Amino acid sequence: MWFRNLQCYRLPRAWRVSADELEEQLGRRRFQPCGSQDLEVRGWAPPTGGDSLVHRVGVQWLIALGVEQRLLPASVVKQEAAERAEELALQQGYKPGRKQMKDLREEITREFLPRAFTRRRKVFVWIDPVDGWLGIDAPSQTRAEDVLEVLRQTLDSLPLALLRTERSPTAAMADWLAGGEAPAGFSIDDDCELRSVTDERAAVRYVRHSLDGDEVRGHLAGGKMPTRLALTFDDRVSFILTEKLEIKRLDFLDVVKESLEAADTEDAQALFDAGFALMSGELRRLLPALLEALGGETVAEGALAQAA
């Protein structure tokens, strides 16, 4: 159990929902497979084997949003509609109009949907009720918001706060690159993206390239600002920090994963739990250190998301 990305939010300490209460509320929208006319369904699924919707390892919780989609490409519907439209034109003596074509596409969609293949996936959500973290393994804030939308619709209350820092990630990353030194506990790796503040299309990306040199400083002096920067924390976790305070390409390094080998077990559930415990433990160390490197955490007025 290792997240690849982390979209992180704050839970207030006043949010006193127990794991059993969360289980009960998630059960209101338990995942059900697509019906014959469903394009997509979403619901809460067990994160691991079994029926429990809240997987607990110590004081850390894991939940999962199940998503199933029917794969019916628009090109298939369009092609079939064009063929049937030709037949209609011969029968009625004139080409189908706009409304008739719309009805035809809807009819074909209803006809083809039950036979379409389905694709199923899970989106995992880590909840730390002690330190007040909610993290979603999603590559973008838009994808994370899809999960939060279902969570708000399901729970009685979800007073999330946006994660904010005194310094913007962009300004902090620029200072680290200009000075050639990362904040305490971190090291700068060899990936970076710089974008012009006046022309978004003007960008420079470094991949597996040393960032400690005059070339990068020259781009900074010329008005380009970092939007992505690769960092490693405590020689244990590497990641990409973005200008939106997203954590991408999370990689828990060998020194962390070697701890699983010490578990000396072939039990799949035990290994899953050990991996989740290691991951959540590292994130609980990484996040406060990252916030400190960005000048500390602040919650702006109105940052609390409206409870569902």
Averaged pLDDT for residues 79-102: 90
Which residue in 243, 110, 113, 226 sits closest to 174, CA to CA? 226
Give the ranges where 135-267 is alpha helix by DSSP (H): 141-154, 169-179, 214-221, 254-261
Q: Give 106's strand partners.
A: none
> Picking from 9-18, 41-50, 55-64, which range would have the lowest pLDDT averaged per residue?
9-18
Which residue in 152, 148, 98 sits closest to 123, CA to CA? 148
pLDDT digits (tens, 9 = 90+) for 255-303: 877 877 766 667 888 889 999 999 999 999 999 999 999 999 986 433 4
Averaged pLDDT for residues 232-251: 96
In whole angstroms, what is the distance from residue 103 CA to residue 96 CA?
10
Contact between 12 and 161 under an 8 Å Cβ cutoff? The reply is yes
Residue with tokens 């701890």: 259
Averaged pLDDT for residues 173-189: 92
**Which pLDDT value is given to residue 306?**
39
**Which pLDDT value is given to residue 267?**
81
In whole angstroms, what is the distance from residue 210 CA to residue 20 CA?
50
Residue 93 clears pLDDT 50, i.e. is over it: yes
In whole angstroms, what is the distance from residue 220 CA to residue 167 CA?
18
> Picking from 32-41, 173-182, 191-200, which range would have the lowest pLDDT averaged per residue?
191-200
Q: Beta-strand (E) ranges in 99-223?
A: 117-128, 133-136, 161-162, 186-196, 203-206
In whole angstroms, what is the distance from residue 66 CA to residue 45 CA?
5
> Picking from 13-17, 86-90, 156-160, which range would have the lowest pLDDT averaged per residue?
13-17
In whole angstroms, what is the distance from residue 240 CA to residue 245 CA?
10
In whole angstroms, what is the distance from residue 46 CA to residue 50 CA?
7
Measured from the Cβ of residue 238, the count of other Cβ atoms closer than 10 Å reads: 17
Q: What is the pTM of this model?
A: 0.86
In whole angstroms, what is the distance from residue 117 CA to residue 124 CA?
23
Contact between 298 and 164 under an 8 Å Cβ cutoff? The reply is yes
**Which pLDDT value is given to residue 200?**
72
Amino acid at 15: W
**Which pLDDT value is given to residue 250?**
96
pLDDT digits (tens, 9 = 90+) for 119-160: 999 999 999 999 999 999 999 999 999 999 999 999 988 889
pLDDT bracket for residue 182 (50, 70, 90) = very high
**Which pLDDT value is given to residue 233?**
97
In whole angstroms, what is the distance from residue 229 CA to residue 293 CA?
14
Choose between 5 and 260: higher pLDDT.
5
Domain boundaries of the chain, sorted by first residue: 7-71+117-160, 74-114, 169-293
**Which pLDDT value is given to residue 157?**
86
The encoded tokens of residue 270 equal 């035990």
Averaged pLDDT for residues 197-224: 84
**Which pLDDT value is given to residue 1?**
75
